[in-house]
Amino acid sequence: MKRALTITAVLTVLVAATCADAQVSIGGAQSLYIQPGARPAGMGDCYTSVADDASACYWNPAGLAFMPVRKNLILMHSELVPDWGDVYYEYAAFAQKVEGLGTLAGSITYLTYGEQVATEEGSPDPVGTFNSYEVIPSVAYATTLTENIALGINLKFIWVDLAPESVTFGQGEGSGTTFAGDMGVLYRIGSGRLSIGTVIQNVGPKIAYIDEEQSDPLPRNWKLGSSYKIFHDEMNQLMASFEYNKSLVIYEDFFDLSTGVILNAGMEYSYYSLFSLRAGYVYDEDGEIKDFSYGLGLKYKDWAFDVASIPQAEGLKRPFRFSLSASF
């Protein structure tokens, strides 16, 4: 318990430090706002205290230490704008336990904004096309400090390519790079029936594209979540999860009032580990998202397929997220 309190204190200090450096700006690297995995999406993106698979690289790297299998692979796909096939998000992660060392993992995120039209300077006339995208590879490590407490870290490299120099009218490449880190703690109580997790995400230098003086901070945030297995036997499991997500970047120039807080709640029912039903709720006042999410999971031996329907801001269609995972 003393170790858990010490780690929590360290995370609190990091939160204070990143808040002190918060900038009045829109966070850079938009793919960092997108949360991977169809299972978490079905639960209302409420996964910080649940994260027990390779996607823990993103959600809470400490969860990697509690994976129930030795190896896990996850692939995810989502069209961000339904009916626009060239605007999509891809995520892949692999995690492996190493005896005597802990759990090692790696992930890669790819977000494409699709094909853009280039125009002449001072004219709306098109002269060609180009593609805008983001790529974020990461490596993670987690270990148990005690039987019930785990600590994890995830380090990522961020590469954003918005436009080639040929369409910026000689101002330079419309691309930027930076790096960031996540640090998390997961505490399991009563053989894992109750879990409490916390994580700080995207702590790192700002990202700039053409003008260094107009650099943007990364979307730093702090999450605190808990989950509880209401009942768990050989046939059935019902789990409830809750989460508080606080942005550490201020947006005053862009919103009349920005709380920077997102509240999430979710539930998952599983039958014989063969199929799962999920539902959740997202309350994001700043993003104008106050709606339910729904999900379904199917499992056969070491393979699992998950799909979820998630809410977006009013006026936008609900996209689906699809995940395929394998355990070894």
CA distance 156 to 10: 21
**Quick check: is 323 in a domain?**
yes
Q: Is 31 helix (H, G, I), strand (E, B) or coil?
A: helix
Inform me whether the pLDDT recorded for 6 exceeds 50. no
Question: Residue 6 belongs to what H/E stretch?
Answer: helix 2-20
**Quick check: is 121 in a domain?**
no
**Quick check: is 88 in a domain?**
yes
Q: For all residues of the chain together, what is the average pLDDT? A: 86
Name the most confidently modeled range: 79-93, 114-128, 260-274: 260-274
CA distance 291 to 89: 22
Least confident of 12-21, 35-44, 158-167: 12-21
**Quick check: is 196 in a domain?**
yes
Instruction: Determine the pLDDT at residue 287.
Output: 86
Parent domain of 161: 2-116+126-327
Total count of domains within the chain: 1
Inform me whether the pLDDT recorded for 24 exceeds 50. no
Condensed to tens digits (0 to 9), the pLDDT of residues 88-122 reads 999 999 999 999 999 999 999 999 988 877 776 66
Inform me whether the pLDDT recorded for 139 exceeds 70. yes
**Percent of the chain clearing pLDDT 90 (strictly above):** 65
| CATH code for the domain in which residue 60 is found | 2.40.160.60
Q: Are 263 and 241 in contact (CB under 8 A)?
A: no
Cβ neighbours of residue 133 under 8 Å, at least 6 residues apart? 110, 111, 112, 113, 161
Inform me whether the pLDDT recorded for 253 exceeds 90. no
